[in-house]
């Protein structure tokens, strides 16, 4: 018998994140490194712990090895409790056969047993694609206060961008009367953040119903939520204020990392009362050598910097040798930038070596045809040879030979 949990969180972490290209070739999107020492999933997991949620199911499907290994016992987030904590839930074979998670709703449906054993009143559905700090307990309190069946977190987005999101149109009391998925002419700017609170008895019923509905794609946004709204269930929008960023594309991942360098970004990662936890590698402090130039950057322990680093985010154990220049870039753990190499507007994945005098990416002002400009991305464990050139916007997944 498991002790009752008032709230259980379910974190959808099965997505491939194909728009991140080489960065998600070997790992699921929530495991993508972020901010010099984190992985994206640290944010929803830390939010859960800081909100007092003790039971978290992480639903995995695509390339789960790195993610499984990373989550481990849940100890880095204090989620290794005796009867609750974090559980990795992957698709499994059942009496009727084996099924992959066919949609977000189906993934939860297949794990009804996991949720039931805690006999919760509320279930929080989260995704592993966003960078934000949020107190879910406040959202649950809002849900209770409004006697809602479903509460959807929304954030105010600029009108010009509203057509990229799912828009929630609400009555003055905050209740939702209409969903519009990526509307051409948005009626409001309340974009769904993909964070839902459900009363478990209601959600349970709708999940079972949806599973039996022919032609359903078993998706929350496309099937379950519209059905609940059509049935007149009490659905409310919960207004979130603060930093929230989807990091599902190369550009948004890069931008969100750069946001950390801006002192005006409302996302304080050193806030004692709302720490973002992660697993910490065992490495010595970072060393900045004589002659190095480091400005406006985030640098993690274990780095050894002799070159110049400007407007960049460097993960642990990155080496920047003498005369090398790293600007407006993200360098992931263990990568080495050799002497004289220049890395600009680029993301270099883990354990890659950028050879002497190689040039990766370019500054936008140095490119005439702006359509050809973008963030250059280098995959993990690669070798970029001496004097090699990688064009802006390129996505590199194989070694590049050096040039004499």
Partner 1 sequence: MRGNNIMGIIFSNLHEDLISELTDRRTMGAVPFGGRYRLIDFPLSNMVNSGINKIGVLTKSNYQSLIDHLGTGKAWDLSRKRDGLFILPPFANTSEYSNRLTTLNSIMPFLKNSTEEYVAISDCDAICNIDYKAICSKHLENGADITLVYKRDQLPPKLHDPAVLSFDSRGKVIDILINPNITGSCSYYMNIMFIKRELLIELINKCISKNTLNFKRDIIQGEYKNLNVYGYEFDGFAPIITSMSDYFNANMQLMNREVRHDLFRGDRPIYTKIRDDMPAKYGLGSKVTNSLIGNGCNIEGEVENCVLFKGVHIGKGTKVSNCVIMQDTKIGSDCNLSYVIVDKDVVIKNERTLAGFLSYPVYISKESTV
Q: Which of 187, 283, 372, 397 binds partner 1 (CB under 8 A)?
A: 283
Q: Which residue has the tokens 């006999």?
A: 119
Task: Please tell me whether residue 326 binds partner 1 under the rule CB under 8 A.
Answer: no
Task: Please tell me whether residue 126 binds partner 1 under the rule CB under 8 A.
Answer: no
Decide: 82 and 1 in contact? Cβ < 8 Å: no
Interacting span for partner 1 (CB under 8 A) from 29-37, 60-68, 109-117, 236-244 = 29-37
Of residues 114 and 274, the one with the C-beta less far from partner 1: 274
Q: Which of 121, 135, 209, 301 binds partner 1 (CB under 8 A)?
A: 301
Q: Which of 207, 258, 313, 353 binds partner 1 (CB under 8 A)?
A: 313
Closest CA to 175 of 226, 236, 239: 236
Interacting span for partner 1 (CB under 8 A) from 18-26, 81-89, 148-156, 292-300 = 292-300
**CA Rg, the chain, in Å?**
23
**Closest approach of Cβ 290 to partner 1, in Å?**
4
Q: What angle do CA 395, 34, 367 make, to 5 degrees?
A: 40
Of residues 9 and 260, the one with the C-beta less far from partner 1: 260
Paired strand residues for 376: 346
Residue partners of 36: CB distance under 8 A and separation at least 6: 260, 298, 299, 300, 313, 314, 315
**Closest approach of Cβ 130 to partner 1, in Å?**
18
Task: Please tell me whether residue 239 binds partner 1 under the rule CB under 8 A.
Answer: no
Q: Which of 296, 363, 381, 397 binds partner 1 (CB under 8 A)?
A: 296
Instruction: Give the C-alpha distances (Å, rounded to integers) separating 268 from 137, 263, 273, 280, 363.
Output: 20, 9, 10, 19, 28
Q: Which of 110, 278, 335, 357 binds partner 1 (CB under 8 A)?
A: 278
Distance CA 334, CA 353 (A): 9
Instruction: Give the C-alpha distances (Å, rounded to integers) separating 38 from 70, 235, 317, 337, 352.
Output: 11, 34, 14, 21, 19
Interacting span for partner 1 (CB under 8 A) from 91-99, 167-175, 281-289, 372-380 = 281-289
**Closest approach of Cβ 241 to partner 1, in Å?**
22
**Closest approach of Cβ 291 to partner 1, in Å?**
7
**Closest approach of Cβ 46 to partner 1, in Å?**
9
Task: Please tell me whether residue 398 binds partner 1 under the rule CB under 8 A.
Answer: no
Binding mask 69-108 for partner 1 (x = CB under 8 A): ------xx--------------------------------
Closest CA to 186 of 201, 170, 207, 208: 170
Structure tokens at 305: 């910097």
Can you give the length of the chain in residues? 404
Distance CA 346, CA 74 (A): 32
Paired strand residues for 179: 168
Distance CA 40, CA 113 (A): 27
**Closest approach of Cβ 294 to partner 1, in Å?**
5
Q: Which residues bind partner 1 (CB under 8 A)?
A: 35-37, 75-76, 263, 269-270, 275-278, 280, 282-301, 304, 309, 313-315
């Amino acid at each position: 018998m498991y002790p009752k949990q008032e709230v259980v969180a379910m974190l959808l972490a099965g997505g491939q994140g194909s728009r991140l290209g080489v960065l998600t070739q070997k790992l699921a999107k929530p495991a993508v490194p972020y901010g010099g020492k984190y992985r994206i999933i640290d944010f929803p997991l830390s939010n859960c712990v800081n909100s007092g949620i003790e039971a978290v199911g992480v639903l995995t499907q695509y390339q789960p090895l790195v993610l499984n290994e990373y989550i481990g016992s849940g100890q880095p987030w204090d989620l290794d409790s005796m009867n609750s904590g974090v559980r990795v839930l992957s698709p499994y074979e059942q009496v009727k056969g084996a099924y992959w998670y066919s949609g977000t709703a189906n993934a939860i449906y297949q794990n009804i047993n996991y949720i039931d054993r805690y006999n919760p009143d509320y279930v929080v559905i989260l995704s592993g694609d966003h960078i934000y700090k949020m107190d879910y307990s406040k959202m649950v309190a809002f849900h209770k206060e409004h006697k809602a069946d479903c509460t959807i977190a929304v954030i105010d987005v600029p009108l010009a961008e509203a057509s990229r999101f799912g828009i929630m149109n609400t009555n003055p009391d905050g209740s939702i009367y209409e969903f519009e998925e990526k509307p051409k002419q948005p009626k409001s700017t309340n974009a769904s953040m993909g964070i839902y609170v459900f009363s478990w008895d209601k959600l349970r019923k709708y999940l079972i119903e949806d599973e039996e509905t022919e032609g359903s794609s078993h998706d929350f946004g496309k099937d379950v939520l519209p059905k609940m709204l059509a049935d007149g269930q009490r659905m409310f929008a919960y207004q979130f204020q603060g930093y929230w960023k989807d990091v599902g594309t190369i550009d948004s991942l890069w931008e969100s990392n750069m946001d950390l360098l801006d002192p005006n970004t409302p996302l304080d990662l050193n806030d004692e009362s709302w720490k973002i936890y992660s697993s910490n590698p065992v490495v010595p402090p970072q060393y900045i050598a004589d002659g190095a130039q480091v400005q406006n950057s985030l640098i993690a322990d274990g780095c050894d910097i002799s070159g110049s680093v400007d407007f960049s985010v460097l993960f642990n154990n990155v080496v920047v040798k003498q005369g090398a220049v790293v600007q407006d870039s993200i360098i992931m753990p263990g990568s080495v930038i050799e002497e004289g190499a220049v890395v600009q507007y680029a993301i270099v994945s883990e354990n890659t070596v950028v050879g002497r005098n190689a040039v990766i990416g370019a500054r936008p002002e140095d490119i005439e045809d702006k359509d050809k400009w973008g963030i250059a991305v280098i995959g993990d464990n690669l070798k970029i040879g001496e004097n090699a050139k990688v064009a802006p916007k390129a996505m590199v997944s194989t070694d590049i030979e050096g040039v004499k």
